[in-house]
């Protein structure tokens, strides 16, 4: 039976119902982000839960996120951490940061999150690792630099996750001059050939269309 995007969405929603359920803080964060006019490009509920589970699976205490938006993924990650755990999340846009900070307060996780406002590449050199998990989800043309920083700041056994590595299949456009496609392809090649990590990538269909993420385990 051929499948259709509407069915992919329906299955994604069904999984969100069954595995995530209703969550007041996360739903309030989405409503506040939408009301403030932020683009709805946060991870889906199912992907947010997956990030949360990855963090718990490795017993993460220190998480780095590049690209906060309204803090939806940040809340999922913060909830995975012990009381003294921290997410450092980097955001260039002051309006996004203000919405995110209010969302963190409402969700009761503000104490676990350190949002740093500025261009990620300006802030990353000042950060103190090691991080257990890094989630890279900002401007895609800088993905190669973000990956290098995440690797430098990760502990062995840590995990680096890069969002949006499929982008409706545009990742296959080898000759593209689009800086986002160039950045995504370059970081995939770097991640795949880097001897200090073991990695794979997963494509997904669902509420946010056709996209995916890569996951790299830092082995040394
Ligand atoms: N991780 C979020 C979505 C992030 S969207 C979630 O899933 O909920 C990407 C964010 O990266 C946007 O808010 C954008 O303003 C931010 N961004 C773009 N360029 C950046 C840069 N150079 N430094 C830091 N943040 C950046
Ligand atoms: C875009 C960015 C994202 O991080 C995402 O998950 C989806 C879309 C974007 O810039 O269009
Ligand atoms: Mg993303």
Query: For 68-85, how does the pLDDT look when each residue is reduced to its tens digit (9 = 90+)?
Result: 999 999 999 999 999 999
Q: Is the peptide bond before 82 cis (omega within 30 degrees of 0)?
A: no
Q: Inform me whether the pLDDT recorded for 1 exceeds 90.
A: no
Q: For the segment 92-124, what is each residue's pLDDT rounded down to a tens digit? A: 999 999 999 999 999 999 999 999 999 999 999
**Nearest alpha carbon, ligand 2 atom 1:** 41
Q: For the segment 120-133, what is each residue's pLDDT rounded down to a tens digit? A: 999 999 999 999 99
Q: What is the dihedral of CA 12, 37, 162, 112, to 10 degrees?
A: -100
Confidence class for position 34, pLDDT limits 50, 70, 90 = very high
How much is the pLDDT for 175? 95
**Nearest alpha carbon, ligand 1 atom 22:** 119
Q: Inform me whether the pLDDT recorded for 39 exceeds 80.
A: yes
- CA 49, chain centre distance (Å): 11
Is ligand 2 within 6 A of the CB of residue 41? yes
DSSP character at residue 137: -
Q: What is the mean pLDDT of residues 56-63?
A: 98
Contacts of 167 (CB under 8 A, 6+ apart): 140, 180, 181, 184, 211
The rounded distance, in Å, linking the Cα atoms of 100 and 29 is 8
Crossing angle of helices 179-193 and 143-153, rounded to 10°: 30
Q: What is the mean pLDDT of residues 138-166?
A: 98
How much is the pLDDT for 2? 67
Mean pLDDT of the chain: 97
Q: For the segment 202-220, what is each residue's pLDDT rounded down to a tens digit? A: 999 999 999 999 999 999 9
Q: Inform me whether the pLDDT recorded for 4 exceeds 90.
A: no
How much is the pLDDT for 3? 76
> Best of 30, 41, 141, 166 to mutate for ligand 2, by most ligand atoms within 8 A of CB?
41
Q: How many A from CA of 40 to the centre of ligand 3?
A: 10
More confident residue, 47 or 4: 47
The rounded distance, in Å, linking the Cα atoms of 118 and 216 is 26
The residues placing their C-beta within 5 Å of ligand 3, an ion, are 137, 163-164
Is ligand 2 within 6 A of the CB of residue 117? no
Crossing angle of helices 94-107 and 24-35, rounded to 10°: 160
Q: How many A from CA of 111 to the centre of ligand 1?
A: 21
Q: For the segment 162-218, what is each residue's pLDDT rounded down to a tens digit? A: 999 999 999 999 999 999 999 999 999 999 999 999 999 999 999 999 999 999 999
DSSP β-ladder status, 131-136 and 197-206: unpaired
């Amino acid at each position: 039976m051929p499948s259709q995007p509407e069915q992919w969405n329906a299955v994604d929603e069904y999984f969100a119902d069954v595995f995530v359920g209703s969550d007041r803080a996360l739903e309030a964060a989405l409503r506040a982000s939408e009301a403030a006019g932020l683009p709805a490009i946060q991870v889906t509920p199912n992907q947010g839960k997956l990030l949360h589970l990855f963090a718990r699976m490795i017993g993460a205490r220190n998480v780095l996120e590049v690209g906060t938006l309204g803090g939806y993924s940040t809340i999922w990650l913060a909830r995975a951490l012990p009381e003294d755990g921290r997410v450092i999340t980097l955001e260039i846009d002051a309006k996004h940061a203000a919405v995110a900070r209010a969302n963190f307060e409402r969700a009761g996780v503000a104490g676990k999150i350190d949002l740093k406002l500025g261009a990620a590449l300006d802030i990353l050199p000042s950060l103190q690792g090691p991080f257990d998990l890094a989630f890279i989800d900002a401007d895609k043309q800088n993905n190669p630099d973000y990956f290098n920083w995440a690797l430098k700041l990760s502990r062995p056994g840590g995990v680096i996750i890069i969002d949006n590595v499929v982008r409706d299949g545009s990742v296959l456009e080898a000759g593209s001059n689009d800086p986002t496609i160039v950045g995504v392809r370059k970081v995939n090649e770097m991640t795949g050939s880097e001897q200090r990590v073991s990695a794979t990538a997963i494509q997904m269909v669902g509420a946010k269309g056709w996209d995916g993420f890569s996951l790299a385990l830092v082995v040394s």
